[in-house]
Amino acid sequence: MRPYNGRMFKKILVANRGEIALRVIEACREMGIRTVAVFSETDRNSLHVRLADEAYCIGPAPARQSYLNIAALMSTAEIAHAEAIHPGYGFLAEDPHFVEVCEESKVVFVGPRHETMIQSGKKLECKKAVSAAGVPIVPGSGALKTEEELLSEARKLGFPLIFKASAGGGGRGMRVVQNEPELLEKFHAVKREAEAAFGDPTVFLEKYIPVARHVEVQILADMHGHVVHWGERECSIQRRYQKLIEESSAPALTKEMREAIWAAAVKAAEVLGYQNAGTVEFLVDESNFYMIEINARIQVEHPVSEMRVGKNLIQEQIRVAAGEKLGYAQKDIKLKGHAIECRLNAEDPSKNFAPSTGRIEIKSLPGGNGVRFDSHIFSGMDVTPFYDSLLAKLVVHAEDRPMAIAKMGNALKRFQIEGIKTTAPLCYEILQHPNFISGNFNTRFLEKNLPGA
């Protein structure tokens, strides 16, 4: 482990639950940092509570009253003398207000500055800023207020189009429209939905790119102006705009396109004065790529990048949040082999992927050379309906893509649990599909190849 410069945190509060809370706790422990867990009443027996050095109950099961309760989190940080807070992903990870409260309370938020988060949280603003610096973006409108504006923008852009909520996220708030009657019909509904879901009714239109891949770049920046990327991730295997399988490298990109996407991501981070870890997302068609947004947090799929780079991204986040320099340059980052991640969600494929709840009984778990299983599950654990359905991330790393696919197939077979239904069988099916194996797929892979899913 790298020697620290004396300013490293002694104690970090982990404002999350599930696999990511465990991951942060373990990363801290390896660095000699003490950890403070927080939990809701229903999570009392969770692994993250057992593994942290200290744990505090912060409220009842509904997230609003516990994991999203800023007052409870800040007072816990105060009582426990935590010097920093790691937000994980989801919950408050991208809430600029929370970041600001941390900054004002002199508790270090492990993530970007609140100004950056305001900017990245507004897709429209973010697109405008990076586009001015020459990063290609999907052609689209500005904020749409009236029906006249809507029609004139739509006519300029041409159908098909996609409505997006400027403050949207998590694959929600998007609607594809094919013609003018549909456009007018959906306009007010999407505004209302955006207001209800994200507290901001701002919506805009983007040209819908029907045959596109989702390719994103992991970036990491310190406070001293150094930005590096950790290569790209291919995340086109999605169900209802939600990622299911991610991999690095992205198959079927030319060397020129790959390098141009990396450069655009670094440029976007520089323009925004980005600090800490983040992800720049792109859509890629036959010959072009367009930035769609920046996610100002650690992402679920970060392990595929870690496996190739051979560094711990959570520890890198903590180091740069403490003010350390990156200490290495782009040329020092070697991207090795191929990594794939499958998201194992508690969802029932026979019930249109509705959340599956119940008590888990573990029969067998994957493991072995090049197999990583990031999860908080244990036998006897109750899966409740209160939080997101991610149970585990199964990640493999091998010399090349065919070997990684084979390894993932074996690992998925060893994932056997009872008591709830999961997305593991669907992941297995995708992995065997000739169009997945060939690398010839896009974001509509599931609807085209496995229409029942």
Residue 18 or 140 with smaller CB distance to ligand ADP: 140
Classify residue 266 as left (phi > 0), alpha (psi -120 to 50) or beta.
alpha
**Site for ligand ADP, residues 176 to 215, rule: CB under 6 A:** 206-209, 212, 214
Q: How is residue 111 written in tokens?
A: 């993530």
- Nearest distance in Å: CB 408, ligand ADP: 21
What is the bridge-based pairing of β-strands 11-14 and 84-86? parallel
Does position 283 bind ligand ADP by CB under 6 A?
yes
Q: Select from 162-170, 182-190, 352-360, 410-418 the region that touches ligand ADP (CB under 6 A).
A: 162-170
Does position 247 bind ligand ADP by CB under 6 A?
no
Does position 378 bind ligand ADP by CB under 6 A?
no
Q: Which of 297, 308, 343, 372 is catalytic?
A: 297
Strand partners, 109: 85
Does position 258 bind ligand ADP by CB under 6 A?
no
| Among 143, 162, 260, 403, interactor with ligand ADP by CB under 6 A | 162
Does position 293 bind ligand ADP by CB under 6 A?
yes
CA–CA gap between residue 173 and residue 198 (Å, rounded): 9
- Nearest distance in Å: CB 60, ligand ADP: 28
297 assigned to active site: yes
Q: Select from 164-172, 244-252, 410-418, 429-437 the region that touches ligand ADP (CB under 6 A).
A: 164-172
| Among 138, 167, 203, 294, interactor with ligand ADP by CB under 6 A | 138
Q: Select from 171-179, 184-192, 258-266, 320-328 the region that touches ligand ADP (CB under 6 A).
A: 171-179
Does position 443 bind ligand ADP by CB under 6 A?
yes
Does position 417 bind ligand ADP by CB under 6 A?
no
Which residues are catalytically annotated? Answer: 297
| Site residues (vs ligand ADP, CB under 6 A) | 138, 162, 168-172, 174, 206-209, 212, 214, 238, 241, 281, 283, 292-293, 443
